[in-house]
């Protein structure tokens, strides 16, 4: 393991995401919570949070971190088919970053979804696992904050997009 003993303890955060490409039938079943194995979206959230907390047990030479927060979100696509966005955000006060915890959380959440949905859709694909942002430590914010965009013209009602449908379970405490 890399010696991080001389690094300062700072607040750090990271978010990672991946995509789970699914068919229209599976997406309908997910929206209606009618999968044969049960509530896959809640199981994915729990699996991702547990995986983020146990990253050091899975990745050799990864420092164990006392996470302050591990939150997994699953966003369903607006249309009849497409790709779910599986994201994991973690926060910690430590000497080293939490990118690996965020990546592991997102990946395992997607794997849990895959496992619970494979009887319905054998053509699912998990793609595009990546860190989307991180903060804290010597390198600061990544990606760097962008300059503010100029104000856009008001969209007409026909142009407005409702955006992705974000699954938020009930009776599930966020850590």
This prediction has a pTM of 0.82
Model confidence at 125: pLDDT above 70 = yes
Phi, psi angle pair for 123, to nearest 5°: -95, 10
Rounded CA gap, 113 and 125, in Å? 11
Give tens-digit pLDDT for 56-77: 999 999 999 999 999 999 999 9
Query: Are the beta carbons of 129 and 109 closer than 8 angstroms?
Result: no
The residues that are catalytic are 115
Rounded CA gap, 48 and 54, in Å? 10
Rounded CA gap, 107 and 83, in Å? 14
pLDDT at position 146 is 72
- The pLDDT confidence band at residue 133, using thresholds 50, 70 and 90, is very high
Superfamily of 12-136 according to CATH: Molybdopterin cofactor biosynthesis C (MoaC) domain (3.30.70.640)
- The pLDDT confidence band at residue 21, using thresholds 50, 70 and 90, is very high
Domain ranges of the chain: 12-136
């Amino acid at each position: 393991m890399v010696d991080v003993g001389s690094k300062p303890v700072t607040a750090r955060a990271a978010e990672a995401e991946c995509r789970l490409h699914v068919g229209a039938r599976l997406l309908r079943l997910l929206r209606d919570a009618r999968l044969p194995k049960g509530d896959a979206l809640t199981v994915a959230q729990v699996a991702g949070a547990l995986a983020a907390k146990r990253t050091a047990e899975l990745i050799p030479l990864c420092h164990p971190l006392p996470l302050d927060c591990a939150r997994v979100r699953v966003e369903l696509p607006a249309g009849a088919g497409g790709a779910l966005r599986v994201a994991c955000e973690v926060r910690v006060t430590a000497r080293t970053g939490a990118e690996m915890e965020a990546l592991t959380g997102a990946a395992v959440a997607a794997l849990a979804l895959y496992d619970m949905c494979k009887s319905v859709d054998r053509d699912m694909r998990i793609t595009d696992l990546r860190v989307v942002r991180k903060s804290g430590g010597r390198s600061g914010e990544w990606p760097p904050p962008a300059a503010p965009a100029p104000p856009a013209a008001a969209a007409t009602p026909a142009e407005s997009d409702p955006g992705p449908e974000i699954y938020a379970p009930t009776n599930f405490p966020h850590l």
